[in-house]
Structure 1
Amino acid sequence: MRRVVITGIGIVAPNGLGRVSFTEAIAEGRSGVGPIESFDATGLPVRIAGEVKNFDVMPYLGEHKKNAKTMSRAVNFAVGAAGLAVEDAGLESDRLDPARFGVCMGTGITPMSLGELAAPVLSGVSNDGALDWKQFSIAQAESMFPLWLLKHLPNMAAAHLSILHQAMGPNNTIVTACAAGTQAVGEAFRLISRGDADVMLAGGCDSRLDPLLIVAYQAMNALSRSTRTPTEVSRPFDGERDGFVLGEGAAVLVLESLQHARRRRAKLFAEVVGYGSSFDAYGITRPEPTGKGAALSIKAALKEAKSNPSDIDYINAHGTSTRLNDIMETNAVKQVFGHRSKTIPISSQKSMVGHLIGASGALEAAATAITLDRGVIPPTINQATPDPNCDLDYVPNTARETQVRVALSNSFGFGGQNASLVMARV
């Protein structure tokens, strides 16, 4: 099995564009949560989010600018993050074997714009209020962009990245809710490790800042309805947390075999040494409360990494800011790490960017690699009120400078999907 390293990091996040900007933001505890500006959120039950502002995909499209018409907002972010990652890694596509260069992306729902659907729906409503499908289809054909459907296929992020970067090797799309980004990095790691590829673009992208989806999440009582200042609403592990804040964005990592990276003298941010996944088999919306499903994922990653619980110096938490998830994650850490649980620094970037759903694990994997490289653990901001059920060291409010040799990054998604990565300092 070949060693796998991270040589490039591309970020499109609510609090930073590019590795350097994002690194500064998380070290400073700077939040990207604020009022929604991409559409009029007046009247919605939730009007704040971790929104990416002023992003233009065009500079990243090269000679494929016409393809922008077939890209959703999430794919735009993926294209930008991949372009930044390739630049960060110093990759030159014409020097790579395209058959040994692949893509693995995590993502989720691509919302169908209510604005685009409104015209054909209204045109198809008969006098008695029923939907006339014949009239609807005629109106749809007249008003919709012919390739509209392509914006909503989950594999489009991986497809566009492969076209843009001439990656003809393995190409996978992972759609496992909040665990998708972590699993995409883990599966790419496995592909390189077993010799199926030399280089992979791996990560996640998502954007659910859409009126219908905000209402849907609120119907599940998943989103915070706090009236605090927006930057103070996402508060993982805090005693006054009341739900998560939706975020959006993308993170893409360049993964390479160590031999390939050394041959081209690439900078090495971190080594991926283990990946584990599991399933709660408990409930669709509620995590298994004792954390035993999540603990299985952590243990599997540690086993592949040939690491003991005593080796872990830092845990990048899923940390959603919901009542149930944060307690479950705390319980899982206690199961695996026992008496060491209270001495291991744990932090959640969701306190600063919100929950990027399918992209969250990839962004957190990127943050973990940055922590290993720089020796600065980002904080969990908005820690003010203790929760007796969340009693670990969550690196409250202020970053911590310390050398991290081995780190763990966790993601736990709706349905019971769990995924964990172990990374090491190179």
Structure 2
Amino acid sequence: MTADSVWITGIGACSALGPDAASFADALAQGRSGIALQPGDPARGVPPFAAAAVTLPLGQDMPPAQRNLHDRHSLMALHAAHEAWTQSGLPAASPVPERSAVAWGTGLGGSNALQQSYGEHLTKETPRIHPYTVVRVMSNSAASHLAMKYGLKASMLAISNACASSAQAIGEALMLLRHGRADMALVGGSEAMLNPGSVAAWQAMGVMAPPDPDDPPRSCRPFDDGRRGLVLGEGAAALVLETASHARARGASALAVLAGYGHSVDAVHLSRPDADGQERALRAALADAGIEPARVGYVNAHGTATDVGDAVEAESLARVFGVRGVPVSATKALHGHLIGAGGALELVACVQALQRRALPPNAHVRDSTLEAQVDLIRASRAFDPAQAMVSNSFAFGGSNVSLVIHAG
């Protein structure tokens, strides 16, 4: 096992808040929402809904035949990864391919490609399935494209663990580097499920917030007493992880240190969260990082804006950090819930907050009884770089992941 710390040397983002990590962080600081009213698909019984959609053109630099191999979420993955890789200062392809890994998370993977193929099969006079459907739909498609583009030959981890997918991918990559299986890893997640089939399924489950009739961008209200459910988002986020010795040898610097990873399983219910499981993940992450709860100066909450979910998370945070013991915000209010990619995007938000020494506010909170338990950030606050940050990702199926970062 290596004694090296693990550095984050590059970050990238593609979201409804903008085409890169800087515009994403700017929007969080300003409280600018990327959520808008989407038209739905009345012909398929999908009413209008609120969601955070990416409007950036994707794959425009590819020949059509090459672009045809990608689902939408894979194109987003390539976009975010390019920014992270470029910021890290690495050459076009890894200089040490056999020591370079990829770890990527997604919830539904190529659901858009699946929707397209089913649609073509059912509606065309001559039924036809797109010949690349399988390779566009498979959950490791984005990871495979990234491995080929950057020459990442040490290991491929493709994690599909619902809303904890990309956070777990990041944590497992941390373990790879610590155990000497690789010197660097491209990590993150991507998700694109704003298609009629998946949206209808989420609506049927009864967890999606109806569009705010007066102000659709405010439809997602984590920790607010008026919260009515989650709002779906799409996008991708990427980070470059390196052992400190590898980064130093090539003259790179740390944006942050990825210091701790905690993972637990509720084993209680498919969709109902459990405070005991969340508490175990939080305490495991802090123990892994070797820090006490008092040293944490910010938590990016999972905060989906479901009635039960926010209440259970408030309880687990109060157990670990004490009542109102740590500043908390849930950035999903602005970028929506990216499901499998959410953990990676929210870790990028933490890295940006650490770099800027300013914490993003919890948008759209009017009244909150949960504020008696957690210290909700109502306006941007300064951050002490001597403190650490935690990012929570809690998933359907009962999987809980907490990640800890601090300054290098």
TM-score scaled to structure 2, two decimals? 0.94
Is 2:21 aligned against 1:19? Answer: yes
Q: Which runs of 5+ in 2 are unaligned?
A: none
Structure 2 match to 1:218: 203
Q: What residue is the counterpart of 1:74 in the other structure?
A: 73
- The one-character-per-residue Cα deviations of 1:169-221 (angstroms, maximum 9, x if unpaired) are 11110110000111111111111111111110000111110111111111111
AA matched with 2:140: N
Cα gap change, 1:79/1:390 in structure 2, threshold over 3 Å: closer, same or farther? farther
1:285-364 aligned at under 5 Å gives the runs: 285-288=271-274, 291-338=275-322, 341-364=323-346
- Give the distance between the partners of 1:236 and 1:190, measured in 2 at CA: 32
Task: Indicate the residue corresponding to 1:407 in structure 2.
Answer: 389
Residue 398 of structure 2 corresponds to 416
Return the alpha-carbon distance in structure 2 between the equivalents of residues 187 and 198 of structure 1: 14
**Partner residue of 1:118?**
119
Compute the displacement of 1:94 (Å).
4.6
- Give the alignment partner of residue 181 of structure 2, picking from 179, 185, 196: 196
Aligned to 2:219: 233
Shift of the 185–93 alpha-carbon distance from structure 1 to 2, 3 Å rule, reads: same
Check whether the contact 1:238–1:384 (CA below 8 A) recurs between aligned residues: yes
Kindly tell me: are residues 314 and 153 of structure 1, through their superposed partners in 2, closer, same or farther at Cα, counting changes over 3 Å? same
Identity %: 35
1:253 aligned residue: 239
* 2:105 aligned residue: 106
- The separation in 2 between residues aligned to 1:65 and 1:298, in whole angstroms, is 45
Report the Cα distance in structure 1 between the residues aligned to 2:144 and 2:283, rounded to whole angstroms.
Answer: 33
The AA in structure 2 aligned to 1:106 is G
Mapped to 1, the partners of 2:266 and 2:403 lie a distance apart of 18
Mapped partners of 2:58, 2:123: distance in 1? 32
Deviates more, 1:87-96 or 1:172-181: 87-96
Q: CA deviation at 1:65?
A: 6.5
CA contact (8 A) 2:223 2:370 kept: no
Distance 2:394 2:196 in 1: 25
Q: Is the 8 A contact 1:18 1:81 kept in 2?
A: yes
- Distance of 2:47 and 2:345 partners within structure 1: 27
Give deviations 1:256-282, integer Å, cap 9, x for gaps. 111111222223110011101001111
Counterparts of 1:335 and 1:264, CA distance in 2: 42
Q: Rg larger in 1 or in 2?
A: 1
CA RMSD of aligned residues (A): 1.9
Alignment map for 1:27-66 (pairs within 5 Å): 27-36=29-38, 44-59=46-61, 66=65
Corresponding letter in the other structure for 1:22: F
Higher mean Cα deviation, 192-201 or 88-97?
A: 88-97
Distance 1:216 1:389 in 2: 32
What do the CA deviations read for 1:296-326 (whole angstroms, capped 9, x no partner)?
0011111111111111111111010100110
Alpha-carbon shift at residue 117 of structure 1 (Å): 1.8
DSSP-derived class of the 2:55 partner = coil
Unaligned 5+ residue runs, structure 1? 125-138
Alpha-carbon distance in structure 1 between the residues aligned to 2:357 and 2:158 = 32
Q: Which moved more, 1:401-410 or 1:158-167?
A: 401-410
In structure 1, which of residues 368, 377, 383 is the aligned counterpart of residue 359 of structure 2? 377
Aligned residues: 401
Give the distance between the partners of 2:321 and 2:198, measured in 1 at CA: 37
TM-score by length of 1: 0.90
Corresponding position of 1:165: 150
* CA deviation string 1:238-293 (max 9, x = no partner): 000000000000000000111111222223110011101001111001112xx110
**Which residue identity does 2:356 align to in structure 1?**
R
Structure 1 residue aligned with 2:166, among 181, 185, 188? 181
